[in-house]
Structures are given as C-alpha cells and as structure tokens.
Chains A and B, each alone.
Chain A
Amino acid sequence: MKKYKTKRARKEALAAYTFILPFITGILIFNVYAFLKNIFISFTNKKSFGAAKFIGMDNYVRLFGDEKFYQALINTLCYIVICVPAIIILSLLIALALNVKLKGIGIFRTLIYLPIITLPTAVGMVWKWLFNNQFGLINAVMGKFGIQGPAWLSDPNVSLIAVCIVLIWCSIGTAVIIFLAGLQGIEKTYYEAADIDGANSVQKFLSITFPLLSPTTFMLIVTEIIGFFQVFDMIFLMIPPTSSGMAGARSIVMLFYEEAFTKFNKGYGAAMANILFLIILVITIIQMKLQKKWVYYG
C-alpha cells in the first residue's frame, strides 16, 4: 500500500475506481454472480417460478443417463467435424483467390461477405424454403439431374447435413475476412525471394503462406469449434420442434433451450450448460497444448 501514500496517488486511485465502477458492477452481477447462480440452480429442481428444492447431483445423474443428451452431443460433434474443416479450407481458398490483384475483385469481396450481415432469421427462412421437399429449388435442381431429393428437414438422416450446408454458407465470410487480414500481414519480400529461387505456387504456399498463416488458422479453428459447440440459430429456425428431423439435428444448445425455456426445467438446463462449459474448456485446453506441434510464431 506504500504506493498510494501521496495525495496525488490516492486521487488517481479514486478516479480509477470511479471509472471502472460501472463496468465492474456489471461484471459482478451479470457474470460472476450469474455464473455462481447457475451452478447453484443446477443443484435444484428449479422450474419456471416458485420454490426450488435442493436435489444434489440429481440433474447431473439424469443428464448422463439421458439418451437425448447423448444424441445432441453426437450431433454437435458432427456439426463440428463437418463444418469446421469445410469452413477453414473453403475460406482459405477464397481468401487466397481474393488476395490476387485482379480487376473487379472488390465486387466479389462484397458479395461473399453478404451472408455475414444478413439477419439469421431471414437466412433460416429462405433456406427452409430452398430445402422444401415439394416446392424447393434444391430438390427441383436435383430432379433435373434425375435424383430424387430427400425430405431435407424432416428426415432425421439428412436434417443435420441440411443445417450444415446453411451454417457453412453463413460462416465462410467471417473466416475469409480474418484469413485476408492474415495474408495481408505477410511480407512480400518472402515471395520475392522465393521467386528468385524459382519456387512454384504450391511450394510458396507450403513453405511461406501456410506457416506464416498458422497462428491465424489456429485462432480460427479454436473460435470456430467453440462457436459450433454453441450452434443453435439455424436448427431452431429451420426445423420445427415437433418435426421428426429434429432428432437428427438437435444440438446441445438446442436441447438446452428446449429444456430450460420451453419445458422450464431450469435446474436441468443449468446443469447442461455447465457440462457444455466443461466440454468446451477441455477441448480448448487440448488444442492449446497441441498448437506447439504445428503453429509457427515467427
């Protein structure tokens, strides 16, 4: 406390606390308190309103015996395994293409970024219509090639694929922007040196672009995986809750939403959110450990 002895230092500390007070109050209420409260709720049988009873680990025990939860967990992992690699590869290719100095490239950028800012509800709505099995554009085009299109959104075997297509369509733009920012950070001199050595495009990509872009790629993979563990919007928007397609597409967060906010099993929902947090935490820590093997920090 020696540091704060002078009048001036005390005045500064006082000013600082006034400045951080609104923020810290918010964090204490909406984050710290809410976090602890959620743990507490997860040990109760809290419904919508009224008194909740402490029931110990019951919610967690129920969760680990809940087939719906396992199905949702598997579905969520499917979303990650299908969408994250597809997004990373496609957006890297698009970013490489957009990084070429060509006439009219700006128009392509604008168009490819459009899904980022489009209201998800409108996106879900139009894709639901595109996937309509009788009158939808997708099955009509497939029909032209003599393929009988499936009932995309109500067949539990394909509903997840349909949602994945939409999620990839929505998510590429953001990843492209981030890759482009990374590409523009690579110094041109590396490529000039490689040209002098007579390296071809593939060699240049493998020995310059990819290693120098690996921190960006790593960061994107980590954030995309975290994001896809929380996938909800498009499932909710495209598949009616009572449809048979929901079983094949339901993610953890979709199940959480149904339990906590349509059936009002809040204690159970809270427990599920806590388990989701632990899963994300473990996966992220594993990735942080693995990064040393492939990420190159100049």
Chain B
Amino acid sequence: MSLRHFNLAIVGAGPAGMAAAVEARRHNLSVAVLDDQPAAGGQILRGITTSGRPDYEKWGGPLAEAFESCGAEHIRGAAVWGREDSLLLYSRQGRTESIEADGVILATGSMERPCVVPGNTLPGVVTVGALQSLLKGSGCVPAGDFVLAGNGPLLLLCAVQLADAGAKASAIVQTTPGSRFRSSLWKAPGLLFDPALLVKGLGLMARIRRHGIAVYGEAGNIRIEGADRVSTIRFESKGRKAELLVEMVALHDGVVPNDNLAISFGAQARWNENLACYQLLMDSDTKVAALENVWAAGDMVAIYGGYQASITGRLAALDACLDLGFLSPAYYRSIREPLASKRRRLLVARHFVDAYYAPTLLPATAADDALLCRCEEVSVGAIRDRIAQGVDGTRAIKAATRCGMGPCQGRQCTVSLASMLGHDRPRSSFARPSLRFPARPITVAELAQSHQGISHTGSDS
C-alpha cells in the first residue's frame, strides 16, 4: 500500500481546522483534515453541513461552505493516535490508516471542564454540551424532565436552543456567585467598549424568561441522586434548600483546552491557576514549542471561542505556509498583519468572561463521595486522604491512586486533580501527567496494522 502524502495535515474540523484548511488551500498546499466526528463543524458548528439548522452563528455557514469547496481532503471518523516523523497514524472504523504530512496543525478544540459533584456518574447525567451535541448532531432532545446546572454562558444558550426546539428545562441551577459581576467588571473595564456582548447576555436572559424557565441563582451543594439512574437533584439556592425530580441533569462549568493529542506528541503544558486549566507551551501564538513543524490553533491553545478560532486557524495556516516555503515573507506579512490586529481587538471582552465564569464546582470543596476520576472510580475523599498523607504533586497522586489511568487517559480528571492540589497545596508540582503513544485506547490488532516502524512500542524489532 503506497502512503499518501500531503503538505499539511490538520487534526480537527471545527472552526480553527476548517479555516486553516481554507487558508492553506488558498496558497496551494495539499491538505488533509482528520476529524473523529462523522461530519465537519467541531462542537460549536456541529451538524452545520448536514442538518441545515438555521440557529448557528452567522459566520459559521460561509466558513463551512468555503471548507467544503476548498479542495482539502476531509477524512471523517478518523481518531488520530500517533505521530512518527512525518507519519500520522489514526483509527477509522476500527482499522489503522496512516498518511504522510510535512506539517501538522492541531485544532482539537476544547472540552467541557469535568464537573465534580456527588452523583456525577449516574446514567442520565450528561454535560450541557452533550445536550447541545445531541440536538445539533442527532436531532434528539430530552424526553422527560431535565435540569441544566452549573456556570457559564453555554447554560443559558443551550436552554434557549432546547426550549425553541420544544424541550423546556424544568429549571436552570446557576452556581455563579452573586458578587461576581461587579468584581469581574473591575478586571475588564474594556468591556464597557463592547456593549454587544452585554446585549447578547441580556437577550438570552430575556428569552429564558419568555420561555418561563425557572432560574435558581447563587446555587451550591449540588447532589445528584438515584438508584440505577438519575431521579433527583438537590441543591441550595440563596441559602434555601431545593430538590427537583428529574430524569436528566446536564452539568457545565466552562470549557478547557482539549490538548491530549498535543501532549502525547511531546508538547509541554503549564498549569494556569487563574484559568484553572493547563496551557500548551508555545514558541509563538501558533507554533507549538518543542515540536518540529507542528502548529496549533483555536481553543486548544486558549479558550476564546469559535469565531476567534476561525481567525487563529488562518494565522496558523499562514505560519505553516511560510515555514514550509509556500509564501514569500513580504506577501506573508501583508496578509497576516491585518488578521492579527483584528484578533487583538476581539480579545478585550475575554478578561471579563474569564473572571465572571471562573469555575464554581471546585473539586477542593466537593463532598468526599464525588468521583474525581470516573474511569478508575477514585473519589474526592480518596485524593483528599492522599494529599493529607503528604503525597505531593499531580504525578505522585496519579501513581498512588490510579487517577487518570483508565480508558479516558486522564481527559476527565487531570484538570480536577490539579485544581484540587492547587487549592490545598499551592506550592506543589503541577507537572502535567505524561501521556504516551497511543493517544487513544486502541486494540493490539490496530497497533499491529501500523507496522511502519513505530519505535515507541518497542515491539517491532
């Protein structure tokens, strides 16, 4: 089998990946876009090429159309799990396939911050993003009573989208502290120059009220209960206890970079206490440090949302085009500078959003019985005990508890673990636990199909 070669491989077909592909094709690179979903769009634009729903942000449609006609090869359902020099390995429908690429742009987006509350693993508990995915991708909505709980703009947006589609939430349980609005404005006086954002937020609240959805504010102490599946959510709101009988609970506490693939490629990340997530170390705004010919764009570098991702995707593509020799420096500067300055103007409101929607469901204050590592069933209490015993540092706790060693490879617990440690032992080591090849759980049969001399396995001599 001859190996197909591309100038550029892009991992992820969300806003950043699609925009990068369009830009790179404009400068005549051959481009492959690998994405694990069945259709392009990523999370925010999920289903945009298949469902034709009208409620996407207005920049989404033109971007998706440009992507579909740009001439990049879109390889759907491809879960990338390895890179060796110019070789990229991925699984598709249970089979290993590979391509060769001179450069790689990682655009793997964000994922929802894991929500550590008691009962978070009961069937019927999902994330708010999950409900949005089901609506946009599969055309499904909750059949029975459900509640959206947590913090962040997605809560209101998703409640409105679901209600418009005929599925009205029983309630929204907001965990945003009451004092946050004022304190956040102090951190971002620039917001006063961005009234559009405020108008958008107020507009969502008005639509929630029009739908008649109950909103419980300043909520805390959330517990989800049920025997084999969700039956009840209990919480306190403004000091008063409440309980609601529901079949589904959707949790949300903001999003964090989905950086597992980059880390498994050898990228480094540093814990950011203010944002309560890991951030990739970069050489420039798009070039990943320590990796040759690997760039990154969109929310996996920093959480700025879909539209910004479509700009950083283009910037990453331009940087790749320059380094791979497809653009002259003068022409490159003439295209890049206007884009980069547009991006800087858009950053103003972000400081407010980051402060206002900082995480609320903190693992450090969660009840002992909440599960921190879903896969290995490690509770908050078990981690708390280890920290009290003096086990120090993210890697030491991982080794002592198996936290992060299950099938999700730490996607769901690494951030929670670091956040808990940061609260209890701020001077601890936050080194991101290593992720090794392969970046996805694959079968031995799939690994055997990749007989291209992958040295990491140590088994191909």
**A and B are interacting partners:** no
Measured CB to CB, the residues of A under 8 A from B are none
Measured CB to CB, the residues of B under 8 A from A are none
